[in-house]
Amino acid sequence: MTWYSVLLEPENDSFQEIDEPDFSISTLPSTNSPAWNRIKDDLILQWIICPFLKKKEGLCYQVPIHTPEIQTYILNHVAGHFNTVQGIYENQKLTMIRLSELKMATQNYFQDKKENMQLISPIVSDFYMRKDLGPQTKGAIDCENVEILIREFRNLCKVEFDEMDDSLWKFFKETHLDFDGNIILVPQNWLFSDELLTSTTLAYFSRFAHRIILTINKANNHVRAVELR
C-alpha cells in the first residue's frame, strides 16, 4: 500500500498585489522569568524553544498575532526564555512577535542535566532533534512536492498515542491556518523514505490536518519543508 502521491504541478502560482502597510519594529518588554515547571507539559513552549537548542546563528521564531490570547500567551509564558523580544507593527497594529537569542539559563537547563531533554515531547524532538545528516543533505537542489495520503498513512503508521494533546495544533490554527489556510514548517534532518511511517510528528499532524505536503529534494531525498492545510 502506498502512502503518498507525487504532485506534478505547483498549486499556488497566482500573484496577488497587496498594499504596502506602514511598517515598524520595537522591543517588547518582558518581565516574566522562565517557569521551568511549565516546560514538561507545554507542547507549544517546547516547539518554540527546541530549534534554538541547536545554537544556529541568526535564528528567530516569528508568531503571527491575530488574537489577544496568543499575544498574552507568548508574552507571559514564552518571551521570558529569550533575550530579544520584538513586536512587528503594520499600520500601528501589532501583527507579529519575533523571538530570538535564547537565554543562557534556558540553554543550561537542557544542557546541564540530560534528563531534562527527556521532558521534550517526541512530537517536538522528532521534528527538530534528529541526528545531523551532515553533507548528506547538501549539494544540488531539484525539488518536487509529495502529498501524504492521510488515510493510507495512518493505516501504515507505527505510532500510537496514549493521550492526544491538541494544543500545538490549536496554536497552528490560531496563528496560521485559520487566517492563511496553511502553515509551512522546516523539519531538521528528515529523509524521505518509509522510515517516516515511524515519525511521531507526522503521526500527530495526520490526526488533524486535511492535507500534508512534503517538499523533497530529489537529488538526496532531503525533506526541505512540510506544508499543513
Look at residue 90 in the predicted model and tell me its pLDDT: 94
Written as one string, the DSSP assignment of 39-64 is: HTT-HHHHHHHGGGGG--TT-EEEEE
For CA atoms 169, 54, 196, 148, the dihedral sign is: positive
Radius of gyration of the chain (CA): 19
Sheet holding 183-185, edge to edge: 4-7, 143-148, 212-217, 222-228, 183-185
The pLDDT, as a whole number, for residue 30 is: 75
Provide the b/e sequence for 119-148 (b: ≥16 CB within 10 Å): ebbebbbbbbbeeeeeeebeeeeeeebbbb
Residue 111, pLDDT score: 82
Tell me the pLDDT tens digit for each residue of 47-69.
Answer: 999 999 987 888 999 999 999 99
What pairs with residue 82 in β-bridges?
102
Q: Given this model, what pLDDT does residue 11 score? A: 58
Low-confidence stretches of the chain (pLDDT beneath 50):
15
Q: What confidence tens digit (pLDDT) does each residue in 101-141 have? A: 999 999 999 887 767 888 899 999 999 999 888 777 777 88
How far is 116 from 224, CA to CA, in rounded Å? 29
- Nearest 5°: the CA angle 23, 28, 29 is 165
pLDDT value of residue 18? 61
State pTM to two decimals.
0.91
What pLDDT is recorded for position 31?
73
What pLDDT is recorded for position 218? Answer: 94
Greatest pairwise CA separation for the chain in angstroms: 53
C-alpha count within 13 angstroms, C-beta hemisphere, residue 217: 14
* Nearest in space to 28 (alpha carbons), one of 90, 91, 79: 79
Q: What is the DSSP letter of 9?
A: S
Q: Which of 71, 10, 3, 70 is nearest to 215 (CA)?
A: 10
Q: What is the DSSP letter of 32?
A: P
CB distance 203 to 159 below 8 Å: yes
Nearest to 44 by CA among 123, 160, 146: 123
pLDDT at 16: 55
